[in-house]
Amino acid sequence: MEREYKEIGKVTLKEEENLVATLVDKEKLDLRVWMDTEKYKGPTKRGVRFYLFDGIWDEFRKLIEKVDKEVEKLE
């Protein structure tokens, strides 16, 4: 069975590095650092994959909300 990948979006981290959000098989979200250099173009080992329907994704969203509130305090 071939995996289905759908890139949702990306954020530039630095000139040759992007954080890419990809939906995998309509059930997992992969957040991975991708490189684009002369020597290598593609994903790195740096990243995380969430299963969207096991409750962990909801916990991660809550964590991001907490981080966002702390960042707002710094501004």
| Residue 57: pLDDT band with limits 50, 70, 90 | confident
* pTM listed for this prediction: 0.83
Please report the domains of the chain, with CATH numbers, ordered by start residue: 5-74 (2.30.31.10)
| 45, pLDDT greater than 90 | yes
Supply the DSSP string of 44-66, one letter for each residue: EEEEEEEETTSSHHHHHHHHHHH
Dihedral, CA atoms, 64, 12, 46, 3, nearest 10 degrees?
A: 90
